[in-house]
Amino acid sequence: MGSRRQSREAAVQILYMCDFLSLWSFDKALETFNHFEFHPQIRGYAEALCHGVIENIEKIDSQITC
């Protein structure tokens, strides 16, 4: 399995946790990355994906509800 795919899977896991707990904070996402000790090759891209979603969550939610 490629590292980008693993990064996307990690990002989905972290974002699911944020949604489940209703804690849309990049700091909380980083805590979770630290807890699960993702491989550095996977973590960098996964963090970028999570950061983009968390920064734009309101815009994303409004597009989904339309």
State the pLDDT confidence band at 4, using cuts at 50, 70 and 90.
very high
pTM: 0.85
CA 17 from centre of chain = 9
State the pLDDT confidence band at 13, using cuts at 50, 70 and 90.
very high
State the pLDDT confidence band at 52, using cuts at 50, 70 and 90.
very high
CB 53 within 8 A of CB 13: no
Rounded to whole angstroms, how far apart are CA atoms 23 and 37?
20
Per-residue pLDDT tens over the stretch 16-47: 999 999 988 888 888 888 888 888 889 999 99
pLDDT at 5 over 90: yes
Q: By C-alpha distance, which of 8, 5, 6 is closest to 52?
A: 8
